[in-house]
């Protein structure tokens, strides 16, 4: 859950100031006054007064920009507002079904080092934790540090929003058998927080990507599993207990293949990377599939497989469009960020099957950071938690 800083007083000026503070906190590379007015929907004069107070209280600092921009005046570089850089480092970890990715950042969230390796996480959770901890320790050493201030780890399971406990699908009970928080904390020597991987992907887009200029969007991670992060009114929405966005288990084919959740015909059985590789085996030699990434396969028969899966995905997303009215749908993960035919077919299905007013207001695009969206989001979440803890 994205923490929010409560205002120091109930007055409208204080609420405005805190809103602007957190927008600045969510921009590790800095943000201009002009951008703040657009992002927050606040008048230029309101932004000016709030920023002046934040600068006077030393909660934010101002840097000269590197190029001209709106509101900079006479072509001068716009002034960038950001948080002061405190000493220390943060760690973000992304546990996929088949990979582990780790990043180290400064306390502003600027990523200094990152690394990714293939690993069968689903069937070896304890070993995956060992791998992640070793990678984090190595990267910390490369930046001249030893112990991180805080770590956020994303996992491919829902997280109970109240207790922070894992709510795993039936096929991923390994996350129940291992106390990932305690295991990582013991190895890294710092507080550790778990989060859903798709939720972290949406946070990366909200903070630095396609969702930065929008208050309502949906991020969809399409990899070995399929999940979504839903952002409404600038906030991540996780549902009553934290399962919102589990669209991979929406039924799309009544008599379809058996899903790992135990049901038949789920979206994952049609559009996940595992499902696509099974379908591609009918039109391509197995050796060709095994030696290529999904995104590098361009054979005409394979493209037809992708278009069919993308159309099914798009019809599923139509329901989200009509129900939530997002401005943007961002496709990420191994499939969503690398297969243009998937995006093309999804966009066409949305255009064909949502109500016209919704269709004209939604764009479909790929993840800003590609397959690194989740680890980027883990760093973003760690930055927000560390800022909240520091007061």
Cα 194 from Cα 177, distance rounded (Å):
15
Report the C-alpha gap between 1 and 347 in whole angstroms: 29
What residues does 80 pair with on adjacent strands? 63
Position 19 scores a pLDDT of 86
CB neighbour list of residue 112: distance below 8 Å, 6 or more residues apart:
89, 104, 105, 106, 143
pLDDT at 213: 80
Q: Does a structural domain hold residue 361?
A: yes
Q: Residue 5: inside a domain, yes or no? A: no
* pLDDT, position 313: 98
Residues 229 and 99 in one domain: no
pTM above 0.95, yes or no: no
Q: Which of 50, 66, 82 is the last residue of a domain?
A: 82
Same domain, 149 and 186: yes
Phi then psi for residue 231, to 5 deg, are: -115, 120
State which residues form the domain around 117.
Answer: 89-200+373-390
Both 166 and 266 in one domain: the answer is: no
Domain match, 235 and 327 both: yes
CA distance 372 to 231: 19
Largest distance between two CA atoms of the chain: 66
Query: In total, how many domains does the chain have?
Result: 3
Which regions in the chain score pLDDT beneath 50?
1-10, 67-72
Distance between start and end Cα atoms, the chain = 18
Kindly state whether residues 16 and 100 are assigned to the same domain. Answer: no
**CATH code, domain with 16:** 1.10.10.10
The alpha helices in the chain, defined as continuous H runs, are 12-25, 33-40, 44-56, 125-142, 174-177, 180-188, 197-208, 268-271, 273-280, 286-290, 300-324, 333-336, 340-353, 356-360, 373-390
For 110, left (φ over 0), alpha (ψ -120 to 50), or beta?
beta
- Same structural domain for residues 291 and 236? yes
Could you count the other beta carbons within 10 Å of the beta carbon of residue 301? 11
């Amino acid at each position: 859950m994205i923490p929010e800083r409560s205002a120091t007083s109930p007055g409208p000026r204080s609420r405005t100031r805190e809103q602007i503070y957190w927008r600045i906190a969510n921009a590790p590379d800095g943000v201009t006054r002009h951008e703040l007015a657009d992002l927050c929907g606040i008048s230029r004069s309101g932004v000016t007064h709030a920023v002046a107070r934040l600068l006077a209280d030393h909660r934010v600092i101002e840097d000269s920009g590197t190029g001209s921009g709106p509101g900079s005046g006479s072509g001068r570089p716009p002034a960038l507002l950001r948080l002061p850089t405190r000493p220390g480092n943060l760690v973000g970890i992304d546990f996929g079904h088949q990979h582990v990715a780790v990043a180290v950042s400064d306390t502003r969230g600027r990523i200094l080092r990152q690394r990714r390796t293939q690993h069968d996480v689903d069937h070896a959770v304890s070993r995956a934790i060992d791998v992640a901890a070793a990678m984090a320790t190595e990267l910390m050493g490369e930046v001249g540090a030893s112990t991180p201030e805080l770590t956020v780890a994303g996992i491919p399971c829902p997280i109970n929003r109240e207790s922070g406990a894992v709510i795993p699908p039936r096929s991923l009970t390994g996350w129940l058998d291992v106390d990932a928080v305690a295991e990582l904390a013991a190895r890294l020597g710092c507080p550790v927080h778990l989060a859903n991987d798709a939720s972290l992907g949406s946070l990366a887009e909200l903070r630095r990507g396609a969702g930065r200029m929008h208050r309502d969007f949906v991020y969809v991670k399409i990899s070995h599993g399929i999940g979504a992060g839903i952002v409404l009114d600038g906030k991540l929405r996780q549902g009553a207990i934290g399962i919102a966005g589990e669209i991979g288990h929406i039924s799309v084919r009544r008599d379809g293949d058996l899903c790992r959740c135990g049901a038949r015909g789920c979206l994952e059985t049609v559009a996940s990377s595992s499902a696509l590789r099974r379908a591609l085996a009918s039109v391509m030699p197995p050796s060709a599939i095994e030696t290529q990434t999904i995104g590098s396969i361009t054979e005409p028969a394979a493209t037809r497989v992708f278009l069919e899966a993308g159309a099914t995905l798009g019809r599923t997303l139509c329901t989200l469009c009509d129900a939530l009215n997002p401005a943007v749908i961002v496709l990420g993960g191994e499939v969503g960020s690398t297969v243009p035919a998937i995006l093309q077919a999804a966009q066409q299905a949305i255009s064909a099957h949502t109500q016209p007013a919704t269709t004209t207001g939604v764009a479909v695009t790929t993840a800003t950071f590609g397959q690194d969206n989740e680890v980027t989001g883990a760093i973003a979440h760690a930055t927000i938690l560390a800022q909240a803890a520091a007061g």
